[in-house]
Amino acid sequence: MKKYETYKQAQERTGFCRSTLMKFDRKGITIHVGRAVRFDAEALDKALADEARKGDNDES
């Protein structure tokens, strides 16, 4: 079963601020229920890891 998190829960777990997490508000990572946004924890972790790897390649 998928685990969904609020912005606050995702911030506490990942250590990223809300504005950074907002960049990952896209299909497959978040779901919208009315005005509420929920992050798929597994998909968010994968997206953050992919972004970190991409950043590491840019520095080379």
Tell me the pLDDT band of 59, cut-offs 50, 70 and 90.
Answer: low
Question: Cβ contacts of residue 7 below 8 Å, gap of 6+?
Answer: 18, 21, 37, 39
Read off the pLDDT of residues 17-54 as tens digits, 9 standing for 90 and up. 999 999 999 999 999 999 999 999 999 999 999 988 88
Q: Which carries the bigger pLDDT value, residue 52 or residue 12?
A: 12
pLDDT score for 60: 53
- State pTM to two decimals: 0.82
